[in-house]
Structure 1
Amino acid sequence: MAPLLGHPLPANAAPPPVTTPVTDHCPHRVSPPPAVDTSEVVAPGMSAPGPLPVPDPPIGGTRLGACGVVADPGLGAVPERLTSAGWLIADLDTGKIIAAKDPHGRYRPASTIKVLFSLVILDAIDRGTMDLDTIVTAAPEDWSAEGDSCGMGPGGRYTNRDLLTGLMVVSGNDCASALARQLGGVTATLTAMNDRARALQALDTHASTPSGLDAAGMSTSPYDLAIIYREAMRNSLFRELIALHDYRFPGYPKRPDVPGDKDHPSYLMQTSNHLLLDGYPGMLGGKTGYTDDAQKTFVGAAERDGRRVVIVQMYGLTVESDSYWDQAESMYDYGFRAPPDTEVGRLVTARTRESAAPITSAAAPKAAHALPSTGTDHPDSWSIRILVGLCAALIAIGLLLFALRLFARR
């Protein structure tokens, strides 16, 4: 494997060639690549979830059933030096897919699954079953969570806004734990996440942990991450949080069980999205991820000249002279160069089960929050239809009686 950034090559050594994994033979059509550690080993007596069915025809268009590069040859070569096994570039508003590689290949999402988790939280906020101002006291399972952390601690008190922001800005697994607890626990949270994925037709997706830590059955695809992120971008609160460069996260009091400990003050945390942090033009926000099994993952959107492009990167690496951020920039540049009518497939939406409609502008008011997508008509729409039908029937009866009365007078 090529050395990671931060592990220099020997003096005078030439950088290794950057190669994109070959996926034309569809090695990940059914399941993600083999795990490299024991994170997906299930407990004795337990069984791992089976692989998800493979939709036929593929969601989004027949061309997306290919596992190699899918692109319009008239646009020239796709970006070079992409280390991701699977990737996708699409117009965020129209849903037209500009280019992709192994779009329905199944890979582990790492922390990009937190976008799906955030949709479940935003749904709860919209329903009124969760409030941004509710104060949550940290629990031991929060501050002891594995992986990236916002720095929750014993005795710490945090609003749900703090926790949701920490989830998006620095990918805090401690925040994920505290939020899942409010949704009824991990099992209830995963049920809600997987139900939401099915409603969106993200049929390559199965969440096994809310945070994105690897576990048996964890799966998604470049295509699914794009439609999940696109759905999240309909919500003004998500757009606000995913675009934050930094946020002051609360501290917690000194621990009496730690001799000499002092109060832990609030601190200014910074986004893990370097495209946003380093000022990539038009960057609207994005979600990063990494585990040993998932490798690097990313989903995010940028805007240029009124056009918004979303990209997904999965199962890739930063190598010497070729960072994952450089690769992302080349994908955005390719997407913005493509004519608006470029289309090799479509990002579907649960609202119509067909081609996606334009998304609310990033400048839309807060009232533009999306209702949970169920793929069915809202109950109120049926009430209106029934009422209109009754009114029409009454009018018809009235006209008939009037006509009969006129006839009787003759």
Structure 2
Amino acid sequence: MSALKKTALTVIAAALLPSITAAPALAATSGTRAAAGANHANKTDAKAPNPPAQMSTVGGSQLGIPGTQVNLGAGAPVLPKDLSARSWIVADAESGAVLASHNAHWRLAPASTLKMLFADTLLPRMNKDDVRTVTRADLMGVGEGSSLVGVKENQSYSVHDLWLGVFLRSGNDAVHVLSSMNGGVEQTVQDMQDHAEELQALDTHVVTPDGYDETGQVSSAYDLTLIARSGLQKKDFREYCSTVRAQFPGEQKPGKKRETFEIQNTNRLLTGASGVSPYQGIAGVKNGNTTHAGSTFTGVAERNGKVLLVTVMNPSSKEPQAVYKETARLLDWGFTAAGKVEPVGELVAPRSANTGPSGGSEASSGGDGEDEGTVSGAKESPKNGSGPQHASAAAHEGSSGVGIALSITGGVLVLLAGGVFLVNRRWPLPELVRRLPRR
């Protein structure tokens, strides 16, 4: 029997097992495992609001259950003790499997992590070499107290410069200039909302392009992770979010050469600043902090060929730089637990992902038709967020992976195109992930 046939039979058997198990029994088992894994997990804060009793089930029904969700297998480590975030998620960036979560679909203020959606929406529309001379109108509407990179009226900046300002300094001034180049803030907000819906980031409601606190502006740990996964399939997105420091144009004075000044990334796991050690394998993506949102962060890291995404929203801990330290703990846990836990859900494919003759998705596309490949581990995406999906993937060297795409509808296994569809896509992370020393 060929290796491919053996693999197919193994995957089919594993996928059919849940469909022949009674739903109440499965729910009871999952609850027991989740409780066992959560003994040392999130600390409770009596003053903190409670998550909704019912949340979205996009990506799987278990993700809609309040509290910590994890299905520990033999030899799996328990979750870290010191977790205080209102919401968090640990996911395999390539296969899309959610390894563990805590209130994954709780709709919370995202702060500047929403800039990931801004970038994922606008990056494919702009030429990085284009130049904009900034007008007063471009900078109108920048919120009071916003983080700024230092864009000045009547000065010229390349699109490349402005994206560095967005990613490294979280510059709302740069966001507003790029929005003006896209037809204005209102148009950009609508484009971002449309793109969120295309990605099935349905917890997300966009009010501003920069993540500044506004009534009704929300996202979730699940959505931010989904958005980051889409963005990371774009070469420029990967470059910008992994850049530690860069030169940014200063003011052009008449008769003199234009000077530059250095800007540094505010992602502490990338730079190692403010008492936070650089995380081995970190390659982005975006942090945020506002009065209403608290601290938020989505990070991606690679270790031994495994690529993980972690999102942490609003830790209540008084520990300095808690959002980064809790992210690092969850990354450590995820790299150790990978292969030893049963996924509690998945990161779904975009709605426009290509479908094969059987209706399953052939590729988990980034939505904007981008560079050298897409995340592997494609599977049919649920349109209404109901019912868990199942897939398996095996990582190869570096950050490439091979996913076996399956579609399960109503407990029936559908083999794509009459057989097991193998997806092999390169998804290279920046060289930075190989430069940092191990923790």
Q: Same fold (TM over 0.5)?
A: yes
Quick check: which has more Rg, 1 or 2? 1
Where 2:298 maps in the other structure, the secondary structure is strand
Deviates more, 1:273-282 or 1:344-353: 344-353
How far the C-alpha of 1:308 sits from its partner, in A, is: 0.4
Cα shift at 1:341: 6.2
Q: Is the 8 A contact 1:148 1:172 kept in 2?
A: yes
| Equivalence map 1:171-250=2 (5 Å) | 171-250=170-249
Give, as a single letter, the amino acid of the residue that structure 1 aligns with 2:339: P
Would you say the 8 A contact 1:149–1:172 is kept in 2? yes
Aligned pair partner of 2:129 in 133, 137, 149: 133
Question: Which among 34, 38, 43 is matched to residue 19 of structure 1?
Answer: 43
Alignment of 1:134-153 (within 5 A): 134-140=130-136, 145-146=142-143, 147-153=146-152
Q: Could you tell me which runs of 5 or more consecutive residues in structure 1 were left unpaired when the two chains were aligned.
A: 1-17, 31-53, 125-129, 256-261, 376-410
- How far the C-alpha of 1:321 sits from its partner, in A, is 5.8
Q: Which amino acid in structure 1 is aligned with residue 261 of structure 2? A: Y
| Amino acid in structure 2 at the alignment position of 1:348 | V
- Preserved contact between residue 314 and residue 323 of structure 2 (Cα < 8 Å): no
Q: Which residue of 2 aligns with 1:266?
A: 260
Partner secondary structure for residue 253 of structure 1: coil
Q: Distance in 2 between matches of 1:63 and 1:23?
A: 26
Deviates further, 190-199 or 149-158: 149-158
Answer yes or no: is the 8 Å Cα contact 1:156–1:253 preserved in 2.
yes
CA distance 1:123–1:306, shift in 2 (3 Å):
same
Alignment correspondent of 1:118: 119
Amino acid at match of 2:344: V
In the TM superposition, what is the alpha-carbon distance from 1:339 to its structure 2 partner?
A: 2.8
- Would the aligned equivalents of 1:20 and 1:84 in 2 still touch at CA under 8 Å? no
Residues 335-354 of structure 1 mapped to structure 2, 5 A cutoff: 335-340=334-339, 342=341, 343-350=343-350, 351=353
Q: Deviation at 1:20?
A: 4.2
In the alignment, the residues of structure 2 paired with residue 263 and residue 22 of structure 1 have an alpha-carbon distance, to the nearest angstrom, of: 58
Q: Contact (CA 8 Å) 2:134, 2:155: kept in 1 or not? A: yes
- The one-character-per-residue Cα deviations of 1:138-171 (angstroms, maximum 9, x if unpaired) are 2235557331111111322100111112111111
Secondary structure in 1 matching 2:85: coil
- 1:200 and 1:366, CA in 2 relative to 1: closer, same or farther beyond 3 A? closer
Q: Distance in 1 between matches of 2:90 and 2:354?
A: 22
Secondary structure (helix, strand or coil) at the match of 1:59 reads coil
C-alpha contact (below 8 Å) 1:214/1:293 kept by paired residues: yes
Structure with greater strand percent: 2
Q: Is contact 1:23–1:85 with CA below 8 Å preserved after alignment?
A: no
Structure 1's consecutive aligned runs of 4 or more residues displaced over 6 angstroms after TM superposition are: 22-25, 353-356
Alignment of 1:3-402 (within 5 A): 19-21=43-45, 27-28=51-52, 55=56, 58-74=57-73, 75-124=76-125, 130-140=126-136, 145-146=142-143, 147-253=146-252, 265-278=259-272, 279-317=278-316, 319-320=318-319, 323-340=322-339, 342=341, 343-350=343-350, 351=353, 366-368=371-373
Question: 2:184 is matched by which residue type in structure 1?
Answer: G
CA contact (8 A) 2:87 2:221 kept: yes
TM-score by length of 1: 0.70
Distance in 1 (alpha carbons) for counterparts of 2:47 and 2:88: 11
Is the 1:190–1:207 contact (alpha carbons within 8 Å) kept by the matching residues of 2? Answer: yes
Determine what percentage of the aligned residue pairs are the same residue. 32
1:158 and 1:341 mapped to 2: Cα distance? 49
Could you say what secondary structure the match of 1:106 adopts? coil
**Is the 8 Å Cα contact of residues 312 and 326 (structure 2) preserved in structure 1?**
no
> Contact 1:24–1:67 (CA<8 Å) still a contact in 2?
no
Distance in 2 of aligned mates of 1:232 and 1:78: 28
In the aligned structure 1, how far is the partner of 2:109 from the partner of 2:162?
Answer: 24
Q: Is the 8 A contact 1:168 1:287 kept in 2?
A: yes
- Structure 2: how far apart are the matches of 1:302 and 1:191? 31
Partner of 1:33: none
Q: Residues 113 and 156 (structure 1 numbering): CA distance in 2 closer, same or farther, change over 3 Å?
A: same
| Equivalent AA in structure 2 for residue 272 of structure 1 | T
Gaps of 5+ in 2: 1-41, 273-277, 376-380, 382-439
Return the letter of the residue paired with 1:86. Answer: S
Query: What is the distance in 2 between the residues matched to 1:355 and 1:331?
Result: 30
Tell me the residue number matched to 2:37. none
1: CA distance between counterparts of 2:361 and 2:134? 43
Distance 1:104 1:174, change over 3 A: same
Conserved in 1, the CA contact under 8 Å of 2:77 and 2:333?
no
Contact 1:94 1:358 in 2 (8 A): no
The alpha carbon displacement at 1:283 in A equals 0.5
The 1-side partners of 2:189 and 2:314 are apart by: 23
